[in-house]
Amino acid sequence: MTVTPRLTILPDPFRSWFAARGWAPRAHQLALLKLARLGRSALLIAPTGAGKTLAGFLPSLIELAGAQGARGQGLHTLYISPLKALAVDVARNLETPVAQMGLGVRVETRTGDTSASKRQRQRRDPPQILLTTPEQLALLLASADGEHLFATLRRVVLDELHAVVTSKRGDLLSLGLARLRKLAPDMSMVGLSATVRDPDELRRWLVPQRGAGEMAELVVAAPGAPPAIAMLDTRERLPWSGHGASHAIGEIYERIKASRMTLVFVNTRAQAEAVFQQLWHVNEDALPIALHHGSLDAGQRRRVEEAMAAGRLKAVVCTSTLDLGIDWGDVDLVVNVGAPKGASRLLQRIGRANHRLDESSRALLVPANRFEVLECAAAIEAAAEGAQDTPPARTGALDVLCQHVLGMACAAPFLSDDLYEEVISAEPYAHLPRADFDDAVRFVATGGYALQSYDRFAKIKRLQDGSWRIANGKIAQAYRMNVGTIIESDMLKVRLVRGVAAKASRAGAARGSALYAPAKLAPGAQPAPYTGRLTRGGRVLGEIEEYFLETLAPGDTFLFGGEVLALAGIVENEAHVSRAHSDAPKVPSYAGGKFPLSTYLAARVRKLLASPKAWGALPEQVSDWLGLQQEKSLLPPPGKLLVETFPRGGRHYLVAYPFEGRLVHQTLGMLLTRRMERMGLKPLGFVANEYALAVWGLADVGTRAQKALFSMDDLFAQDMLGDDLEEWLQESALMKRTFRNGAIISGLIERRFPGKQKTGRQVTISTDLVYDVLRRHQLDHILLRAAREDAMSGLLDLERLAQMLARVHGQIIHKHLERISPLAVPIMLEIGREPVYGEAQDEILADAAGALVDEAMGG
C-alpha cells in the first residue's frame, strides 16, 4: 500500500496537511469521500481509533474548502451525536484541522447548554457545520424557520449510530431525518458505527424506505488488532453470589498500580460506589483514583474528565457514562468488574483502552461470583470469534410518533396523507399501519378517546383545506418544553447539610486530593446524627432517583459520590444528607444488573455448562463446583431447562435455571407464583437473579410432580402470558412507570421541572390514577398500546419470556432432590437479601398495622 496515489485524490490544502503529518488517508476515508461525491448515503463501520470522525467530515470539509462563496453560505453539514459532551468534543477536534489548513469554515455546537441568544443567532445566521443532538434537531424542525435553515443542507453525519438506534431517541431522530430529507432532498447521510450484528438494519436507517428495504452503501474499515482479554484467576475464594467483587479489590488494585491508566467499568452506579469505596480502603499509595457516573454533579464529572485527559489520574471507576466515543486520555487497561452482559458491549468498553489501531487493547474481566465466571468465559470466546450481539432494531414507538406529529404541526399546518408518507419513509416506522398514524393524530388533537367530549379543546384543529394546524401559540410553547424522549426518573438533588459530622470530615479529606478521595472521618471522630435545623447552605453532591430515596427512612445510610451519607430528610425536591461514618451503609438495593444478559451470551453460557470438556479453561473452584453439581444433581444438556425441587428448613423450593436475565426471571416469577397459587401449590415468595429463579412455598411441589399430580410442562406453559399476565400488568409498578414515561413523551402530561414544582402533591396529576381509569374504560387507547409494546421489548421483556417458554416446552428436566444442589446455592443466598416479590404489597401495611396492636397491648 503506497502513500502517494492515495494522497493525490485529495485536493491541495488537504494533501499537504496529511503529508506534513506523515499520514495517508485510510481506505475507508477515501471510500466515503467517493460516495459523498456521488451523493450517496453510506454506513461506515470502523473500530475505535480508525479515524471515524475525520472520515465523516472529510467530504464536507473538502466541499466547503473548494466552494467559498455562494455554495459555502448557509448550513452545509449537520452532525448529530447521542451525547452532548461528544458533540462538544468533536467540535474541538474538528477545529484543529480547519484552523491548520486555514479553511475558514465555521463550526459551532448547539446543545441544551447553548445560550438562548446564541441559539437565536444560529437560526438567523447558521454556521456551515453544526454539531448537535437529536432533541435540538427536533426543536429546530418544529420551529417556523426550520424550512429555511435546512434548505441549504448537503450532508448529515450521525455518530455512534449503533447506540442511538436502540432507543426511543433513535425513533425521534429517524422521524426528524425523514423531515430533513424533505426539506433538503439532495442531502446525503453518513452513519458512523461500531461493529454491529446486522449492518443492514443500520443501512436501511440512512435512506428513505419505499417498501423494498432500500439500503445505504456500506463501508467497512479494516479491523484493529484483536484485543487481549483475560479473566482474573483470583487467589481468593470466589463468592457464591453478589456483585460487589470485594474479594478481588486487592488484585484490581495491583493491576491499576502496574498500568499507566485504568478504566474500571461496572454495570451500575451502586457497584461503582461500592468498588470505588473499597479501592480507597486499600489505596496505601494514595493513587489518584476517581469516580465517574451519571448522577454525580456535572461539575464534578467534568473535573474528573479533565484530570483524565491531562493524565493526572491512575484510574477511574465508571459506569456506562464512559462507554461511548469520547477520547479522555491514555488508557492502557480496561477492567470490567462483574458480568459483561453482552459480547458487543464488552468489545465497545474494551475499545476504550488504547486508541491506536495497531496495538491490542488490554482488558481484564473480574467476575464477582461463580456464575459470572461462566458469563465471562463465554464473552471471551465470543470476543475471540468477533461475534456480535447488539440488540435488534426497534419498531418505532407510538408515543414518540405522537410527539413528532405535534412538533410538525408547530412547524406548519400539515395534511395527514403527506405526513404519513413522510413518517413511513423512516425505517423504524416503515410498517406503521395508517390506522395507528391516524390514532396518533387524533391523540394529539383531543386525547384520542372513544368518548369524544373534548373537540372544543382540541390542540390541533382541522382547517377547511383538510390540513391540521395548532390551536394557539401556547401549544407550541408546551411542545418545546416537553421535547425529547429521555424521561429522567424524578431526581432529587442531594445536598450536604452542615453538621458536626461534616466538619470532622474536612480533616480526613487531607489524606488525598479532596477532589478524588472519598471523604473519611478523622480517626476517633464521633459522628453525631444531624439534629439541627435543615438549612440550604450545603453543597449539592449530585442527584439521585426519588424512588430509591422513597425506600429510605431518615437516618438510613447509603453510598453516594464515594461517601457514606445519612438521610436527614427530604425538603421539597432536595434530599438533605449528612456525612456518616458507617462501615455498613445501606447500599442501593438495585445493585443487580442494569443491562440484561444478552440472549446470545445466555445461549453460550448454557452451552458451556453442558460441555464438561470445556471446563478445563475455567478456574478450578468453578470446575469443581460444576463437577459436584453433576454428581449431586445434573447439568442440563443443550436445549433443556433444569428444574430442581428440594425441601429446606420446613419449606419446599423450586429452582429453575433459564439463564435469561433478571428481568425475564422476575416476570416469570410473578406469573409462576400466580399459577402455583391456583394449582394449590401454596407459594410464599420468589427471588430471581440473572441465571435462575427460586420459588418457595408450603406444598411439596417436587413430590407432587413426581406423582404426576401436575406436570412441570403445564406449570411453564406459554398460556401464562394470557390472563395471568393481564391481571398482573394491571398492578405492576413497572408497567405504571412505563405508562408514565409514555404519557410524558406523547405530551399527554407535562414534564415536571425541578425547581418549578410546588410541594403539595395533591395538585399534581398522578399517572397511576390515569392508568387505572384508562385501563378500565378504553383498553385499546394508543398510550396503553404504546406502554404494552414497551413492556414487550423493554422493561419487562415479555418477548424474550415468550421465546423462552416456547423453547423449553417439552424440554424440562425435573430433578427432585433431598437437599439443595450446588448450582442452587447462589440463588438461595439471595433470598432475604432481595425484597420478596409477589403479592406481598399489602403485607407491608399489615406489618405496620401490627405495630398498632403491639402498642395497644403495651408491647
Partner 1 sequence: MTAVTNQTQPVARFAPGGFALHGEAAVADVSGALWLADHGALVVSDLHFEKGSAYAKRGVMLPPYDTAATLARLADVVARYAPRMIVALGDSFHDGGGAARMGEADRAALRGLQAGRDWIWISGNHDPEPPIELGGACAGEMRLGALTLRHEPQAGAAPGEVAGHLHPVARVVSPAGSLRRRCFASDGARCILPAFGAFAGGLNICDAAFAPLFSRAPVVAHVLGRTRIYSVPIMRCLGD
Binding site for partner 1 (CB under 8 A): 443, 446-449, 451, 453-454, 457, 459, 471, 474-475, 478, 550-554, 569-570, 748-750, 759-766, 769-770, 772-774, 776-778, 781, 835-836, 840-849, 851-852, 855
Cell numbers for 518: 472519598
State in angstroms the smallest separation of the CB of 695 from partner 1.
17
Select 586 or 607, whichever has its Cβ closest to partner 1: 586
Minimum distance from residue 769 beta carbon to partner 1 (Å): 5
Nearest approach in angstroms of CB 747 to partner 1 is: 9
Residues whose CB is less than 8 angstroms from the CB of residue 325 and which lie 6 or more positions away in sequence, other chains included:
81, 83, 86, 89, 159, 160
Minimum CB separation of residue 573 from partner 1 in Å reads: 10
For partner 1, give the closer residue by CB, 152 or 582. 582
In 165-297, where does DSSP find H-type helix? Answer: 168-183, 199-205, 249-258, 269-281
CB of 838 to partner 1, least distance (A): 10
Least Å distance, CB 37 to partner 1, is 49
How far is the C-alpha of 807 from the C-alpha of 199, rounded, in Å? 27
Nearest-approach distance from CB 586 to partner 1, in angstroms:
10
The gap from C-alpha 65 to its chain's centroid, in whole angstroms, comes to 39
Our CB check for partner 1 shows the closer of 540 and 836 to be 836
Q: Name the grid cell of 4.
A: 502517494
Nearest distance, CB of residue 549 and partner 1, angstroms = 9
Residue that the C-alpha cell 445493585 belongs to: 591
Q: DSSP state, 525?
A: -
Whether 580 and 566 have beta carbons less than 8 Å apart is answered as yes
Nearer to partner 1, 88 or 570 (CB): 570
Stated as kind and residue range, the H or E segment containing 694 is strand 693-697
Identify which of residues 358 and 855 has a Cβ nearer to partner 1 in the complex: 855
d(CA 792, CA 735): 11
Question: Which residue's CB is nearer to partner 1, number 443 or number 468?
Answer: 443
Closer CB to partner 1, 291 or 401, in the complex: 401
Q: What is the DSSP letter of 834?
A: B
Name, in order, each residue with C-beta under 8 angstroms of 429's C-beta and a sequence gap of 6 or more.
171, 174, 175, 396, 401, 423
- The secondary structure element, H or E, covering residue 544 is strand 540-545
Q: How far is the CB of 691 from partner 1 (least distance, A)?
A: 23
Please name the residues in contact with 606: beta carbons below 8 A apart, sequence gap of 6 or more.
Answer: 636, 638, 659
| The three cell numbers locating residue 433 | 399501519
CB of 524 to partner 1, least distance (A): 33
Comparison of 435 and 451: residue with beta carbon closer to partner 1: 451
Which of 573, 667 has the CB closer to partner 1?
573
> Do 206 and 191 touch, CB atoms closer than 8 A?
yes
Taking the least distance from each CB to partner 1, the nearer of 128 and 667 is 667
CA–CA gap between residue 591 and residue 843 (Å, rounded): 24
- How are the residues of the chain apportioned to helix, strand and coil, as percentages rounded to the nearest 5? 45, 15, 40
Considering the complex, what minimum distance in angstroms separates the CB of residue 457 from partner 1?
Answer: 5
CA dist 403 and 748 (Å) reads 9
- Minimum distance from CB of 851 to partner 1 (Å)? 5
Provide the minimum distance between the beta carbon of 239 and partner 1 in the complex, in angstroms, as a whole number. Answer: 23
- Give the integer Cα–Cα distance in Å for 354 and 340: 19
Q: Between 176 and 685, name the residue whose CB sits nearer to partner 1.
A: 685
If we measure between CA atoms, which residue out of 382, 317, 370 comes closest to residue 346? 382
Burial bucket for residue 399 (CB in 10 Å: 0-12, 13-18, 19+): buried
The b/e string for 248-258 (b: 16+ C-beta within 10 A; e otherwise) is bbebbbebbee
Nearest to 439 by CA among 791, 793, 778: 778
Shortest Cβ 773–partner 1 spacing (Å):
5
Q: How far is the CB of 840 from partner 1 (least distance, A)?
A: 5
Radius of gyration of the chain (CA): 28
Q: How far is the CB of 498 from partner 1 (least distance, A)?
A: 21
- Of the pair 83, 748, the CB lying nearest partner 1 is at 748
Q: What is the DSSP string of 557-604?
A: EEEETTEEEEEEEEETTEEEEEE---SS----TT-S-SSPPPHHHHHH
C-alpha cell at 461: 384543529
66 versus 529: smaller Cβ distance to partner 1: 529
- Which of 436, 544, 543, 486 is CA-nearest to residue 741? 486
For residue 183 the three cell numbers come to 426539506
The residue among 384 and 846 lying less far from partner 1, judged by its C-beta, is 846
Phi, psi for 537 (deg, rounded to 5): -65, -25
Q: What does the block give as the cell for 654?
A: 423450586
> Between 511 and 785, whose beta carbon lies closer to partner 1?
785
Nearer of residues 184 and 575 to partner 1, judged by Cβ: 575
- Beta carbons within 8 Å of 489's beta carbon, 6+ residues apart: 545, 546, 547
Look up residue 338 and give its amino acid.
Answer: G
Q: For residues 405 and 459, is the Cβ–Cβ distance under 8 A?
A: no
Give the containing element (helix H, strand E) for 42: strand 42-45
Cα 47 to chain centroid distance, Å, stands at 21
Pairing of strands 155-158, 129-132: unpaired
Least distance between partner 1 and beta carbon 741 (Å): 17
- The residue among 258 and 852 lying less far from partner 1, judged by its C-beta, is 852
Alpha-carbon distance 269 to 288, whole Å?
20
Question: Does residue 751 contact residue 482 with C-beta atoms inside 8 Å?
Answer: yes
Supply the minimum distance, in Å, between the C-beta of residue 855 and partner 1.
6
> Is 109 in contact with 90 (CB distance < 8 Å)?
no
Q: Which is nearer to partner 1, 102 or 835 (CB)?
A: 835
Residue 439, helix vs strand vs coil: helix
